[in-house]
Structure 1
Amino acid sequence: MRGTARSAWQRQAPRRQVPQRGIGLAELLVATAIGAVLMLMGALMLVSANTAWTAQADGAALDDGGRFALDIIARATRQAAFVDWENATAADAVNAPPQILGRDALALPRTSHGIDGATGDAVNGSDILALRFSGAHGGGALDCAGFGVDAGEDGWSIFHVGRNAAGEGELRCKYRGGGGWGSDAIVDGVDTFQVLYGIDTDVPGDGVPNEFVSASVIELRDGALLLNGPDAAARQRDLQRRTHWKRVAAVRVALLLHGASAAASREPLVFDVFGAPYSERFADGDDGVRIDEAPMVAALRLRERRLFASTILLRNVSPGEP
Structure 2
Amino acid sequence: MKAACRGWGMVEFLIAIALGLLVTLLGSGLLIASGSNFRNHSDNAWLGDGGRYALQVMAQAIRQGAYSNWDSELAPPAFTPSVDGLDAASISRSTDGISKPLPPVANGSDVLALRFSGSGVGANGDGSVVNCGGFGVAGEARGWSIFYVGADAGGEPELRCKYRSASGWGGDAIVRGVDSFQVLYGIDTDTPADGVPNTYLNATAVRALDAWARVCSVKLALLLHGERNTRADTVDMRFDLFGAAYSEAHGGDQGVRVVEGSLPPAQRLRARRMFSMTVALRNRDG
TM-score surpassing 0.5? yes
Give me the TM-score of the superposition, normalised by structure 1.
0.84
Q: Tell me by how many angstroms 1:37 deviates.
A: 1.3
Matched ranges for 1:164-203 at <5 A: 164-203=152-191
In structure 2, give the amino acid aligned to 1:316. Answer: N
Amino acid at match of 1:278: Y
Residue aligning to 1:266: 234
Aligned partner (choices 258, 265, 269) of residue 302 of structure 1: 269
Please list the CA deviations of residues 175-229 of structure 1 after superposition, one character each: whole Å capped at 9, or x if unmatched.
001111011111111111100000111111111111111111111112xxxxxxx
Q: C-alpha distance in 2, partners of 1:264/1:44?
A: 13
Any stretches of 5+ residues in structure 2 without a counterpart? 121-125
1:58 is matched by which residue type in structure 2? D
Letter in 2 for 1:305: R
**How is 1:21-32 mapped onto 2 (pairs within 5 angstroms)?**
21-32=6-17
1:33 paired with 2:18, answer yes
Deviation at 1:295, TM superposition (A): 2.2
1:59 aligns with 2:44: yes
Q: Offset at 1:167?
A: 1.7
Cα deviation, residue 26, structure 1: 2.0
115-124 vs 77-86, greater mean Cα deviation:
115-124
Letter in 1 for 2:249: R
Once the two structures are aligned, what percentage of the paired residues are identical? 47
Task: Give the match for residue 206 of structure 1.
Answer: 194
Alignment correspondent of 1:102: 85
Q: Verify the 8 A CA contact 2:105 2:157 in the aligned structure 1.
A: no
CA distance in 2, matches of 1:144, 1:204: 32
* Residue 275 (structure 2) pairs with residue 287 (structure 1): no
Report SS of the residue matched to 1:73: helix
Alpha carbons of structure 1 residues 88 and 249: separation in structure 2 relative to 1, 3 Å: farther
The residue number in structure 2 matching 1:275 is: 243
For 1:240, the equivalent position in structure 2 comes to: none
Gaps of 5+ in 1: 1-15, 223-243
2-structure distance, mates of 1:44, 1:88: 71
Deviation at residue 163 of structure 1 after TM alignment: 1.1
Alignment counterpart, residue 205 of structure 2, candidates 217, 233, 241: 217
Q: Secondary structure at the match of 2:68?
A: coil
Question: What is the rounded CA distance, in whole Å, between the counterparts of 2:103 and 2:23 in structure 1?
Answer: 56
Distance (Å, rounded) in 1 between the aligned partners of 2:195 and 2:73: 21
Structure 2 residue aligned with 1:5:
none
The equivalences for 1:107-118 within 5 A come to 107-118=90-101
For the residues of structure 2 that align with 1:94 and 1:85, how far apart are their CA atoms?
A: 12
Counterpart of 1:249? 216
Partner of 1:230: none
Q: Secondary structure at the match of 1:26?
A: helix
Q: Which has the higher helix share?
A: 1
Q: Is contact 1:140-1:150 (8 Å) kept?
A: no
Q: CA deviation at 1:80?
A: 0.3
Confirm whether residue 93 of structure 1 aligns to residue 76 of structure 2.
Answer: yes
Q: Distance in 2 between matches of 1:264 and 1:169?
A: 24
Which deviations, in whole Å up to 9, do the C-alpha atoms of 1:223-249 show, x marking residues without a partner? xxxxxxxxxxxxxxxxxxxxx211111
Provide the rounded CA distance (Å) in 1 between the counterparts of 2:38 and 2:73.
Answer: 55
Task: Kindly state the Cα deviation for residue 88 of structure 1 after the two structures are TM-superposed.
Answer: 4.5
Residue number among 126, 130, 144 corresponding to 1:142 in the alignment: 130
Please state how far the C-alpha of 1:109 moved relative to its aligned partner.
0.9
* Kept after mapping to 2: 8 A contact 1:139/1:151: no
Cα distance in structure 2, aligned partners of 1:172 and 1:44: 40
Q: CA RMSD in A?
A: 1.3
1:265 CA displacement: 2.9
Q: If you compute each CA radius of gyration, which structure gives the higher value, 1 or 2?
A: 1
- Look up the equivalent residue of 1:85 and give its one-letter code: W
The CA distance in 2 between the partners of 1:60 and 1:69, in whole Å, is 14
